[in-house]
Structure 1
Amino acid sequence: MDDLALAAASAAVLLLAVPVPVHAASAAAPHRCEGGEVDSRGRSSVDGREIAWDDESKFDDARKHAIKVWTAGTLKQVTVKPDGATSYADLEWRDANSVTGQWTDVYGKWAARHGTDHLTLNRAYLDDGKRYGKAEHRRRVAAHELGHALGFCHKAYGYGTHHSVMWADYGLIEGKRINGPTSHDITAYHALWGRS
């Protein structure tokens, strides 16, 4: 082997031996999800580093709360803003009003679509006077669904020890009075979207 080939081989071995930076390793760390899913940028409403939204929902307070809690503190990597006259919405906030079929005991739902994704809140449960017809419930449901729009799956964290707004069971979120991303959700956010 000549000196040039030996130097190239040595450099390749050296590159492989360099440890991955801590921030890069944590960004790749999976966060346990139900059903074998994973948090995913590709399964989100995020376009580049933003979600431009349009509003067809009566629950403005819930939308404002969800956006506030998912963009607070260190959660700045994805901008969530209204769409403008020269842009297309990535996400449309909508309402449903049903207790049957796909809406049986479903208070909200995020759905990926070709074009604009839908984040739907179910008035049949969330309207005033209904089962969960108070602002605190609407805010929790909206925060959970916006979490899906940001790419987060239902978390399989231990329900008693690792709190998450992304638990699938709303009764548990309500019981723990989780109103937005917990420390575990914030860790998952940074693993998926990085840090500034």
Structure 2
Amino acid sequence: MFLFLTGLAASAAATVLLSLPHPGPALGGVPAACVPSGHDSRGRSSVDHGVIAWEDDTVFDDARAYAVGQWTGGGLRKVRFRPDTVSEVADLEWNDTRSSGGDWKNVLARWTGLPGTDSITMNRHYLDDGGSRGTTAHRRRVATHELGHALGFCHKSTKSGSVMWADNAEAARSGIDRVTADDRAHYHRLWG
């Protein structure tokens, strides 16, 4: 059955519809595509009983703190982040390297899942002041992205609006520098 509105009724209906907030991409029960393959996974995360206890050995404390704030703000409360204590093994270590060759060519940072303590390694060659991505905005975006991997998120297709895009330069050009509505939806799908 079709409903046809005319005159004042159509105008009122259009006003109401246009005043509603845009719902964003429809995510439903289907996760955004991972590229090149895979899926978001609690099993491939640094989370231990709802907590990531971290050890800090990076010069990029501002970026780390920003990333934690991004993944704990806006209703994201299922996973807690805190510094580790002397009586426990850290779930995640933040550290640095300074390399532009081999596995680090054009790599700004990397999350690595390891037996015991996982790591996020920030690459000072590119991220230090004076490096090709040596700005606060780049460091924060990269740290937020890598902490997303520590939460179990894969690289997302650029068809979604996500800080988890594999291409940091494309994310920068698109203005994605924080956790987005799509990222929050993925978080709630994975962590509740």
Indicate the TM-score class for this superposition, using the shorter chain for normalisation.
Answer: 0.7 to 0.9
How many Å separate the matches in 2 of 1:80 and 1:32?
Answer: 27
Bigger Cα displacement from structure 2, 96-105 vs 29-38: 29-38
Correspondence list, 1:1-196, <5 A: 29-158=30-159, 162-194=160-192
How many Å separate the matches in 2 of 1:142 and 1:52?
Answer: 16
Question: What RMSD over aligned residues (CA atoms) do the two structures have, in Å?
Answer: 1.4
Deviation string 1:85-110 (CA, Å, 9 cap, x unpaired) is 22210000010100000101000100
Identify, as 1 or 2, the structure richer in helix.
Answer: 1
Deviation string 1:148-186 (CA, Å, 9 cap, x unpaired) is 00000000241xxx3110000011111122222111111
- Paired residue for 1:20? none
Bigger Cα displacement from structure 2, 127-136 vs 27-36: 27-36
Partner SS for 1:36: coil
Q: Is the 1:155–1:166 Cα contact (8 Å) retained in structure 2?
A: yes
TM-score by length of 2: 0.83
How many Å separate the matches in 1 of 2:147 and 2:46?
Answer: 9
Identity %: 50
How many Å separate the matches in 1 of 2:148 and 2:127?
Answer: 18
Q: Is the 1:107–1:125 Cα contact (8 Å) retained in structure 2?
A: yes
Give the total of aligned pairs.
166
Deviation string 1:127-150 (CA, Å, 9 cap, x unpaired) is 011111111110000000000000
Partner SS for 2:36: helix
- Paired residue for 1:16? none
**CA pair 27-77 structure 1, distance change in 2 beyond 3 A:** farther
How many Å separate the matches in 1 of 2:167 and 2:177?
Answer: 14
How many Å separate the matches in 1 of 2:28 and 2:88?
Answer: 30
Amino acid at match of 2:90: A
TM-score by length of 1: 0.82
Q: Which consecutive residues of structure 2, in runs of 5 or more, have no partner in the other structure?
A: 1-26
How many Å separate the matches in 2 of 1:164 and 1:70?
Answer: 13
Deviating 4+ runs (over 4 angstroms): none
How many Å separate the matches in 2 of 1:154 and 1:145?
Answer: 10
Q: Is the 1:32–1:157 Cα contact (8 Å) retained in structure 2?
A: no
Q: Which consecutive residues of structure 1, in runs of 5 or more, have no partner in the other structure?
A: 1-25
